[in-house]
Amino acid sequence: MEFVIITGMSGAGKTSALHVLEDIGYYCVDNIPASLLSTLYSLCLSSKDNMMKRVAVVVDVRGNENFEDMYAEIEKFKQKYKSVSILFFDAKVDCLIVRYKETRRKHPLSERLKDGSVSEAVEFEKALLIPIKRLADYKIDTTYMSNKQLRERVMSMFMEDTSQSLTLTFMSFGFKYGIPLEADLIIDVRCLPNPYYIPGLKHLTGLDKEVRDYVLNSDDTQEFIRRTLNLLDFSVPLYLKEGKSELVVGIGCTGGKHRSVTIARTLDEHFVQKGYRCVIQHRDVSKKSD
């Protein structure tokens, strides 16, 4: 049986992720108290219904009055049962505050704090969830993600064959929009030839053959790729040996449209050929150019 606990910051996308998992065949439960995790696991395990052999639940501050107990219950549950993974959703404080103001929804912790402000509640929750974040097998930061990107990321992580214990995620991004907080490694490709300054390529992206050919048709690029792959070929098995469930490799250029997209695709192709379970995401490729 496969059991996924979705947790993390309020407003960071947990419910959206649960809907995605429900769409791809998971039996889903929202807002379950941590104290009931073992009961639900036992019921699903003993059920003859195959639909209950892939389970996803949201456990967060809404259904848990005692936060220390919530952490302890999740930690004990993960240690006790097999095939349990934790998916943690996060986002920058400013982004979460804006989301709450846009939706005009009340933060679940607001009433438990003195002034009840959204900003205080978000800060309090972020500090509160640090221990649970450390337990997580997968972390997704949705600060710069669209709903479509979130759906693609979750589907890529959980739709494929789960026999591979390590998922490699290659994420292209633009430094001008910020470094992805969930990245384990950052590769800076701003030293490579930049198609942005070529009139015919400026408004294309690394998804277009013309841009890809321009970036790759350079001795410096080929040497950069060779050395980068040497590093990753050596280090990825070490991460696997240490029991890491997901390795997020961020590949950044200035705007996240040309060089980073091209190199991310190249690294992804290499590791797909080697038989790894890979996810590729182009965080900023659709953003408008200045």
Q: What is the pLDDT of residue 163?
A: 42
Strand partners, 85: 4
Could you tell me if 285 and 261 are in contact, meaning their C-beta atoms sit under 8 angstroms apart?
yes
Average pLDDT over residues 87-108: 86
More reliable by pLDDT, 116 or 127: 127
Contact 14, 89 (CB under 8 A): yes
Confidence of residue 58 (pLDDT cuts 50, 70, 90): very high
* Domain coordinates in residue numbering, the chain: 2-158, 167-282
Task: Give the pLDDT mean for 153-163.
Answer: 69
pLDDT band, residue 162 (cuts 50/70/90): very low
Model confidence at 178: pLDDT above 80:
yes
Tell me phi and psi for residue 244, to 5 degrees.
Answer: -70, 135
Residue tagged 């950044």 (tokens): 252
Report pLDDT for 106. 78
Say which residue, 157 or 226, is predicted with more confidence.
226
Q: Are 59 and 32 in contact (CB under 8 A)?
A: yes
Contact 71, 51 (CB under 8 A): no
- State pTM to two decimals: 0.65
Q: Residue 6: CB partners within 8 Å, gap ≥ 6?
A: 14, 17, 18, 21, 56, 57, 58, 59, 87, 89
Identify any residues that bridge with 3 across adjacent strands, giving them in sequence order.
55, 84
Q: What is the pLDDT of residue 124?
A: 87
Give the pLDDT mean for 45-60. 88
Query: If we measure between CA atoms, which residue out of 246, 57, 64, 62 comes closest to residue 140?
Result: 246
122-158 in b/e form (b: 16+ CB < 10 A) is bbbbbebbeebbeebbbbbbbbbbeeebbbbbbbbbb
Say yes or no to pLDDT of 133 above 80: yes
Q: Which CATH architecture has domain 2-158?
A: 3-Layer(aba) Sandwich (3.40)
Alpha helices in the chain (DSSP H): 14-23, 37-46, 67-80, 93-103, 118-128, 130-135, 147-158, 209-216, 219-241, 259-273
Give the pLDDT confidence score for residue 273 in this predicted structure: 93
- Average pLDDT of the chain to the nearest whole number: 89
HSE value, Cβ hemisphere, 13 Å, CA-based, for 260: 27
pLDDT(160) > 60: no
Tell me: pLDDT of 184 over 90.
Answer: yes
239 contacts 218 by C-beta, under 8 angstroms: no
232-287 pLDDT, tens per residue? 999 998 988 776 778 999 999 999 999 999 999 999 999 999 988 888 999 999 88
Q: How far is CA 41 from CA 51, 87, 143, 185, 276, in A?
A: 13, 17, 32, 35, 29
- The single residue listed with the structure tokens 């929202």 is 30
How far lies 283's CA from each of 252, 253, 286, in Å?
10, 12, 8
Confidence of residue 289 (pLDDT cuts 50, 70, 90): low
> Residue 128 above 80 pLDDT?
yes
What count of residues does the chain have?
290
